[in-house]
Structure 1
């Protein structure tokens, strides 16, 4: 088989390839920000655990506030792609304001909070529009393959982003490292401007339009179980992530470069998870993949608060935890993404995704705040134990539902698969 024959069929289609390329580059930039902004707070502005909690909450609070209204708005629009381009440009401008302020010796924690909130709000709008754009590009029978490719990009970003971010912080300082992230948003906007898929027609404005997405989520049994499991993971996982950089740099003594390398090396597991996810779904079904993915994501993180001893042992334990967890998270992301795309009708897609993200991601700022407060009150390591153990039990929400026994993706009644 020639080299072209090894390329996944979706990547041979120019429109999807441009969409995927823009997403891949933007995701890599996001990983730089995930390193650079917390490190700017810690290393440049001397933030403590409570301040880190507020910073993470500012980044995540828009998911709680804006998913519903933005989803309702997006379902009424004919051009969601144009809105996505505008959000990319807005995020680039906000991120660039940080190195400018630093160069002028005017950077403050308040500005970090404002930029984190603004980028989070624009990201919410991007994601609810992206759900509709995705189904305009991909036929139903290729949802698992497309989600594997997109999540493979996310894994590649996890692989390259933290390492590059850590090195940029090491040599350029944290604020100037953010210039790279701003450039990736501009590249993403450029690729989106070069595609023109036929998007689903706007939904008519009817009575209950604003709340229909929330009502759809709550009355669908499988969605309720998935929301409960995912929301539990989000709450505890963001307790964990709020304190991880602070814990690794202060208690474990890792520098920015070594921390980035550990995360990047561990992200090889994410890349493998994305590659394997299609085979896992075929072997054990979409429901079994959800259960395996949730456990594979959460169980390895129990190693993080166990880390201690010689530097070599600490680095190995962190690598192992990140590697195994990234395998699990890719499997669950591909399974969840494919399930939602197949189940939700086009007419309410943005509203349902907005409602799901409101219910689900709304736990993130709560987890960040609780993590910051507990980290200050009882210490970093005890809080990480609470966060990692709590996340493992999220899988219990799935077991009484139909999800674990589901082999195939559900079919939307009365709707045909979109044509790529």
Structure 2
């Protein structure tokens, strides 16, 4: 493992390159999250179901490929996997503006691009989580994750505003071209990294094992561990709820509330400030209250803010959406930083790819379900009514979290061995 142990600092050219490439790519994603529904709604005149389906299709690959991807990533060098993923994503998204310029863009084409990019994202995200400990020491992981999450939150602030301006100035597909170019920048940055990645070196008996067995090992580790299992279940339910709302937010703001493209971009930009706030407070909250307790505080604190989304109205009523977005974003992002760092420290190195992929399949698979559910309910019951349903689901998820074993912990354990030792110590009379 490269990098020097420090007190929360992150040094090194290679991590800075990695961080820069990721930041640009995340900014492109922040633009595309808004631009993609705009293309569907404004260019192709799609209904609410199709808008929700776009989110679902983008995350469906996690259900199809997530588990075997984790096993493959544990067998392969991680950086080449990320390079191929960036190249595939670039081709998928650059095809959309090309088709639009040729006046042959269709909804199936848009869905296919989202699905292909989603497949690439499965491998990139799984490899990235396993690759980061190669660039950073254990002492640097929390700060490294905070910087990456900070980039994601900043992209969520800047991206929607840029998307709104690009849509108004150059048309809806301009945002997808910007996203395609961001993958190219990420690819170049990864190519420039010099650190030598340790080659995967599983024993011969592991290399001969069937892929199904390796996948089962990752799932078994995840579900036998009470902390990882609790976090995975909460992530699934909360992601269904939050994605059910976010997948139809553009349609809600444009069609139900009556906001214009620039106003929608501004509203979503202000909502993104919550993620930046979450990055800023995550370390302080974790240090003051303990990592496990901080996660419960942050996620439960976000719950009341979800009630504001369905109350949104035109004009000054948009403030409900903004305040809700800031509150939810701050709580969820701060919790994500802490839990991501916990998993990277906690999981055995030879299992980290498979365990991360197993957790991601549950988390991102739930996003696919949430996107589809939001679109279906939006068509059947109404968009505002769907917002209320999803708010209720998130509230129930937080109640379950408070009743889970995590509520008894102050800090997450450093490893599964330390957890077993602590439990054995408690069992001694």
- Common fold by TM > 0.5: yes
Which residue is 1:298 aligned to? Answer: 303
Which residue is 1:241 aligned to? Answer: 246
Q: TM-score, normalised by structure 1?
A: 0.92
1:26/1:167 CA distance change after superposition, 3 Å = same
Deviates more, 1:241-250 or 1:321-330: 321-330
Task: After superposition, give the CA deviation of every residue in 1:93-138 in whole Å (9 maximum; x if it has no partner).
Answer: 1100000000000000000110000000000000110111111112
Which residue is 1:224 aligned to? Answer: 229
Task: Give unmatched runs, 5+ long, in structure 2.
Answer: 1-6, 419-429
Aligned residues: 405
Task: After superposition, give the CA deviation of every residue in 1:255-278 in whole Å (9 maximum; x if it has no partner).
Answer: 111111111122222112201110
Query: Which of 323, 328, 348 lines up with 2:326 in the alignment?
Result: 323
Output aligned runs, 1:174-193, within 5 Å: 174-193=172-191
Does residue 346 in structure 1 map to residue 371 in structure 2? Answer: no
Alignment root-mean-square deviation, CA: 1.8
Which residue is 1:145 aligned to? Answer: 143
> d(CA) in 1 for partners of 2:281 and 2:219?
33
> d(CA) in 2 for partners of 1:197 and 1:92?
25
Deviation, 1:8, is 7.3
Does residue 22 in structure 1 map to residue 21 in structure 2? Answer: yes
> d(CA) in 2 for partners of 1:396 and 1:298?
10
> d(CA) in 1 for partners of 2:24 and 2:104?
30
> d(CA) in 1 for partners of 2:307 and 2:195?
44
> d(CA) in 2 for partners of 1:414 and 1:327?
32
Deviation, 1:295, is 2.1
Check conservation: 1:132, 1:199, Cα contact below 8 A. no
- Secondary structure at 1:407 match in 2: coil
Which residue is 2:401 aligned to? Answer: 398
Structure 1 residue runs of 4 or more that deviate by more than 6 Å after TM superposition: none
> d(CA) in 2 for partners of 1:184 and 1:296?
34
1:315/1:414 CA distance change after superposition, 3 Å = closer
Q: TM-score, normalised by structure 2?
A: 0.90
Check conservation: 1:67, 1:354, Cα contact below 8 A. yes
Does residue 88 in structure 1 map to residue 91 in structure 2? Answer: no
> d(CA) in 2 for partners of 1:72 and 1:296?
36
Output aligned runs, 1:230-379, within 5 Å: 230-308=235-313, 310-311=314-315, 313-379=316-382
Which residue is 1:3 aligned to? Answer: none
Which residue is 2:59 aligned to? Answer: 60
Task: After superposition, give the CA deviation of every residue in 1:24-74 in whole Å (9 maximum; x if it has no partner).
Answer: 111000011101111100001111112223222211100111111111111
Which residue is 1:120 aligned to? Answer: 118
Which residue is 1:418 aligned to? Answer: none
Task: After superposition, give the CA deviation of every residue in 1:175-203 in whole Å (9 maximum; x if it has no partner).
Answer: 12211111111111111111133435423
Task: After superposition, give the CA deviation of every residue in 1:285-330 in whole Å (9 maximum; x if it has no partner).
Answer: 111121122123333121010112x51x122222211121221122
